[in-house]
């Protein structure tokens, strides 16, 4: 049985004080909640402050990206060492917004995953197709390419440490959620791919999150699907009430 996992991706929102308030609100409501793993991914500038708020609780901290090198002349990048120093245990890698706006490729996704693993952080690897790709019947081809390029060369030991998030691009921030059966179809495909390429044991353990307009009202139905193990939540993670309700409705 895979434990539900709900991650909040705050994207480029919140000042440090907004982030502290949001984290405090979530902590107040969920401090004794152990039935799901809970992750907050604030912007880099708020990591240390949020880390202090959630210290000694079951709520974990993650970054929204990670550099592929440990240190050096890489202006603007943040390494695994720095993230761990801020209290991070997870890093989101390959989010579609990074692929679309910042030139993230499957190759750089792979390098970032390797760096996260080497640095002792859990990568949350995002994959997903655009609306155009879905309408051209390319969904499976696109997801396969992202998996091959992103995680295809991981050892079984490495692959057992990752989380995958299926995030159809057309459902992110649009209010359009994939129907549970649509998401399940892709989650099942991803688990099958991991089983074929890595191992059935790895596939059995792998947590696959769904992301794309997750809300308190739709998480229950999504979680009923066999291969959906949690959610990567954007917009609805920015309000205490909606994020807390999503977490509570996920079990």
Which positions touch ligand PEP (CB under 6 A)?
A: 9, 11, 167, 172-173, 211-214, 232-236
Residue nearest to ligand PEP (CB): 234
C-beta of 179: minimal distance to ligand PEP in Å? Answer: 15
Nearest distance from residue 165's CB to ligand PEP, in Å?
A: 7
Which residues are catalytically annotated?
A: 95, 167
The rounded distance, in Å, linking the Cα atoms of 251 and 248 is: 6
Residue 150 vs 211, nearer CB to ligand PEP = 211
Cβ closest to ligand PEP, residue 72 vs residue 101: 101
Bridge partners (DSSP) of residue 165 are 126, 209
Residue 126 CB, nearest approach to ligand PEP (Å): 7
Please, which residue, 133 or 198, has the CB nearer to ligand PEP? 133
Torsion of the alpha carbons at 220, 126, 20 and 238, rounded to the nearest 10: -50
């Amino acid at each position: 049985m895979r434990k539900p996992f709900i991650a909040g991706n705050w994207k480029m929102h919140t000042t440090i004080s907004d982030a502290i308030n949001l984290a405090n609100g979530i902590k107040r409501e969920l401090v004794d909640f152990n039935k799901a793993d809970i992750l907050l991914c604030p912007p880099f500038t708020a990591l240390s402050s949020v880390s202090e708020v959630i210290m000694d609780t079951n709520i974990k901290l993650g970054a929204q990206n990670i550099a592929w090198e440990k240190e050096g002349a890489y202006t603007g990048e943040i390494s695994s060492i720095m993230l761990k120093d801020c209290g991070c245990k997870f890093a989101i890698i390959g989010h579609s917004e990074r692929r679309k706006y910042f030139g993230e490729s499957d190759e750089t996704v792979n390098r970032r995953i390797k760096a996260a693993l080497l640095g002792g952080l859990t990568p949350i690897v995002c994959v997903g197709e655009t609306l155009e790709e879905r309408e051209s019947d390319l969904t499976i081809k696109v997801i396969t390419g992202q998996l091959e390029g992103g995680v295809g060369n991981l050892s079984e030991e490495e692959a057992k440490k990752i989380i995958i998030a299926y995030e159809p691009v057309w459902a992110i921030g649009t209010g359009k959620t994939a129907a549970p059966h649509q998401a399940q179809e892709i989650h099942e495909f991803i688990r099958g791919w991991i089983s074929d390429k890595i191992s059935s044991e790895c596939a059995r353990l792998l947590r696959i999150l769904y992301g794309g307009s997750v809300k308190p009202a739709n998480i229950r139905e999504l979680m009923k699907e066999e291969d959906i193990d949690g959610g990567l939540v954007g917009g609805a993670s920015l309000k205490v009430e909606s994020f807390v309700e999503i977490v509570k409705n996920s079990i």
